[in-house]
A and B are shown apart, each in its own frame.
Chain A
């Protein structure tokens, strides 16, 4: 089956620093990738939709200058949390939609971010 990886799996950083999270589709091409945030014991909240070669579409309430998304190729999207603060600590999950595959999405294993 299709595999999506995320790197790093876990990161701890100091307040004020920026953190980049990578999402890769390993064995398929994905025109669209999605970024989610999951708080403890809560559901996944869609943050933004990332399309290869174009600007990301952010959900209401998500700061685009805070969460920078770059979808540079059909297999890679990155999420950069800029000037991270403790309230940004969360579990970030990406998913990738198979090229011309309709609704099928494959999820990455997630990245645990802890901002001290």
Chain B
């Protein structure tokens, strides 16, 4: 099947804490993997992506590595800021370039 599973939230962290949001996928073939972020009141924005195994996507201090052996694409950031508070969605594409999203993980960073 085609699915994306990400850790449930909400997640609350103190500023400068380390963040990990787990994401695993099931797929036939070799999908591309994405993390999207949705800030309050806004639409989804692409945060980072990886298109093949062992690729690392990175942006704004966030990183995720495409692990084919564990079918995972965990999102990490070494030191979160209050401005990182948002909902994060893991997603994958299929052969038709359609997106399938995880359920989203709400992150709140407190000062």
Binding site for B on A (CB under 8 A): 4, 32, 34, 41-46, 49, 93, 95, 97, 102-105, 107-110
Contacts and interface: CB of A to CB of B under 8 A. Distances in A.
Interface in B72-95: 89, 93
Contacts of B103: 42-43
Q: Chain A binding site: helix, strand, loop or mixed by DSSP?
A: strand
Q: How many B residues touch the partner, as a band?
A: 20 to 34
B27 interface: no
Closest A-B pairs by Cβ, 10 of them: A109-B43, A107-B44, A43-B103, A43-B101, A44-B101, A107-B43, A103-B97, A43-B104, A103-B32, A108-B43
Nearest to A101: B97
9 contacts: A44-B89, A46-B99, A93-B43, A93-B44, A95-B44, A95-B99, A103-B32, A103-B93, A107-B44
B70 interface: no
Contacts of B104: 41-43
